[in-house]
Structure 1
């Protein structure tokens, strides 16, 4: 799937502006941003629920707006599917079987049995967690190439969340589906995401692969012998957090030279740490920036 220069204005508010990226098979992409930044609007525009003011979304080189038949390879699982409450499991299956010709009904029922979900029940009888799991199973059973999941684990208990996360990892590996997950639970995205797209304002602020970022960058916790911070630290690192005179830094350029210079200062504390999605969220999206001088 190729998203090219998408822009969308709603009630005179520019929600999306020149948004572009491509999705690849078998990857899990985390879509993160502050509340109201436009994640759901992006999903709605990527699936044709909204028409863009400009730009395009293509699957296999065909625009989803001019060739709606290609949307059979795409499914958007919204954060609420309450309009299905009066439906039974079998009626939901019948509906989606007519829309998605590749729907794997045997796989669907196999997963219902695995997670002990009833085959003969109305959706309204499911708890919130079980309903979320049901629609996740349905989504992956459709055999689409692209899945967009909007807050799929919001408000669920820890046991159900773990089940869903493990299910996503297993099924993406099995079916090579490209999955995009919009969520505020950065710790859970950390455990499954290959890639992170950061929305800020109406644009993409950052688009990176976690493995590549960790290979080229360093997160370091350091405390110096004096209260003065060397100039090369202020210029060459981004400050993630400060606890008294203990600083947590992110270094993305000339990491080897930076570390060599840092160790030459003989700090009283030096520890290399794992870069997380939360670190990127804090740096790129926090309202207040931390000051080295506030001791």
Structure 2
């Protein structure tokens, strides 16, 4: 089998207990890409992953790798990895036992490397998975996924509830794997801040559908976040061309989704008392277009 380049989800639909959870979901994941699946808890992120992996039968649509259907070729499943945290059968096993199991499931599973990195990250080798803290389990899951040598790693809320140090370790491990192994990652979250600096593209799920899709590099190139203070009232053009994301008295912070020369000239003409560029993060980019919609993507 040649080098795998793309994972394609086409018109996927799933109903559970007569409730539509997924409806007409389509997207592509390219080699070396980190795709964020974002939406509030209960929106269908886990159902999407389970359906992609064949744990649920799709009511409609297909999942394929390089135009070959995953459902028709068990070998293709070797190139997809997913741990279902809600139905996790690892709890009673040690790292060595888990490595033995996964070496049977994945032909390319690197047991030696897996056990080495588990030790390098100071995860207890003689302890059972269930005795690990939530942070330890999150890191362990990522190390296990990478040891599978699967091209497409699917991670369901892997950063949820982790402390800052563990979260940064997990993100660093993932970024290094993408850069050195050219794998692709699908990662879900209900918290935008968790995915900042990690994902290349984002899909927003709402009401069983893809509500919006963003390519972050191009969005960041055109956007700008500025702190301003005006002598009088805030000029109308600020709200017309930008989104005020914060206001403290006369101090406003505004995000312009498409900052251009015209806006620059209008600001200069209004002679603000303060003009200061601020760092632009992932949440800022979303708020420029989602401010009038449900706040689910801004949950903390």
TM-score for both structures, normalised by structure 2: 0.86
In the TM superposition, residue 164 of structure 1 has moved relative to its aligned partner by: 1.6
**Conserved 8 A contact 2:224-2:259:** no
Determine the C-alpha separation between the residues in 1 that align with 2:14 and 2:165: 38
**Conserved 8 A contact 2:242-2:288:** no
Match of 2:171 among 165, 170, 173: 165
1:253-278 per-position Cα deviation (integer Å, ceiling 9, x unaligned): 46221222122111222222333222
Determine the C-alpha separation between the residues in 1 that align with 2:56 and 2:137: 26
Aligned residue number for residue 255 of structure 1: 260
Is 2:83 aligned against 1:77? yes
Aligned residue number for residue 23 of structure 1: 29
Match of 2:94 among 88, 91, 99: 88
**Conserved 8 A contact 1:200-1:285:** no
Determine the C-alpha separation between the residues in 2 that align with 1:239 and 1:18: 34
Determine the C-alpha separation between the residues in 2 that align with 1:51 and 1:82: 19
For the structure 1 residues 234 and 191, does the alpha-carbon distance in structure 2 shift closer, same or farther, using more than 3 Å as the test? closer
Determine the C-alpha separation between the residues in 2 that align with 1:64 and 1:109: 29
**Conserved 8 A contact 1:79-1:151:** no
In the TM superposition, residue 240 of structure 1 has moved relative to its aligned partner by: 2.6
**Conserved 8 A contact 1:149-1:179:** yes
Determine the C-alpha separation between the residues in 1 that align with 2:291 and 2:40: 9
Aligned residue number for residue 136 of structure 1: 142
Aligned with 1:192: secondary structure? coil
- Structure 1: 5+ residue stretches without partners: 291-295
In the TM superposition, residue 183 of structure 1 has moved relative to its aligned partner by: 2.0
Match of 1:189 among 192, 195, 212: 195
Coordinate RMSD, CA, aligned: 2.4
Determine the C-alpha separation between the residues in 2 that align with 1:204 and 1:215: 24
Match of 1:8 among 4, 14, 20: 14
- How many residues of Structure 1 are paired with residues of Structure 2 in the alignment? 289
Aligned residue number for residue 107 of structure 1: 113
**Conserved 8 A contact 1:78-1:150:** yes
For the structure 1 residues 157 and 61, does the alpha-carbon distance in structure 2 shift closer, same or farther, using more than 3 Å as the test? same
